[in-house]
Amino acid sequence: MTAVLDYHLHLWPHGERDRQPTLEQLADYCARAAEEGITEIAVTEHLFRFVQADAPLAGGWQSDPNPALRAQAEAYWRQHNHADLDVYVETVLEAKKAGLPVVLGLEVDYYHGRMDKVDALLSGYPFDVLLGSVHWIGAWLFDVLESSVAMAEWDHRGVEAVWLAYTEAIEDLAASGACDVLAHPDVCKVAGHRPALPAELYDRMAEAAAASGMAAEVSSAGWRKPAGEAYPAPELLSRFHARGVPITTASDAHRLPDVGWRTADLRPLVEAAGYTSLVAFRDRRPHTVEL
Domain boundaries, the chain: 5-290
Q: What is the mean pLDDT of residues 205-231?
A: 97
Confidence label for 174 from pLDDT (cuts 50, 70 and 90): very high
Question: What is the reported pLDDT for 257?
Answer: 96
Residue 160's pLDDT is what? Answer: 97
- Any idea which fold 5-290 has? TIM Barrel (3.20.20)
Contact between 201 and 188 under an 8 Å Cβ cutoff? The reply is no
> What pLDDT does residue 90 have?
98
CA separation for the pair 81, 70 (Å, rounded)? 16
Mean pLDDT (whole number) for 73-92: 95
Mean pLDDT of the region 160-172: 98
Q: How far apart are CA 155 and CA 71, in angstroms?
A: 19
From 106, 67, 85, 78, select the one nearest 20 (Cα to Cα).
Answer: 85
Percent pLDDT > 70 in the chain is: 99
Lowest mean pLDDT among 18-22, 83-87, 106-110, 227-231: 18-22
Quote the pLDDT of residue 18: 65
**Confidence grade of residue 227 (pLDDT, cut at 50, 70, 90):** very high
**pLDDT value at position 2?**
74
Range 198-226 average pLDDT: 98
Does position 1 have pLDDT exceeding 80, yes or no?
Answer: no
Please list the residues that pair with 83 across neighbouring strands: 50
Neighbouring-strand partners of residue 277: 290
Q: Which residue has the higher pLDDT, 149 or 208?
A: 208
Cα distances from 55 to residues 5, 84, 114, in angstroms, run: 33, 13, 12
